[in-house]
């Protein structure tokens, strides 16, 4: 596999996993299931890494918040 394609897939997973974990935690709250404190820490870490270091997310954010 091409190195750049592999890095692209890692960046895409870096966006998908924190978003999916957010939905899982919301589902656990609405169904009164226990939430592990480590999940909240992983969620915060995932969003921090996504916002700071993910160039795909930064490009998408610039496109979404662009003034017309």
What are the CA-CA distances from residue 66 to residues 19, 24, 41 (Å)? 22, 30, 31
pLDDT in tens, 3-55: 999 999 999 999 999 999 999 999 999 999 999 999 999 999 999 999 999 99
- pTM for the predicted model, two decimal places: 0.87
| pLDDT value at residue 57 | 96
Token pair in block for residue 7: 């890095």
12: number of Cβ within 10 Å: 13
57: number of Cβ within 10 Å: 19
């Amino acid at each position: 596999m091409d190195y750049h394609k592999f890095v692209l897939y890692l960046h895409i997973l870096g966006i998908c996993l924190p978003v999916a974990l957010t939905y899982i935690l919301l589902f656990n709250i609405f169904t009164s299931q226990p939430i592990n404190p480590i999940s909240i820490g992983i969620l915060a870490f995932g969003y921090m890494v996504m916002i700071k270091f993910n160039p795909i997310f930064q490009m998408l954010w610039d496109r979404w918040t662009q003034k017309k």
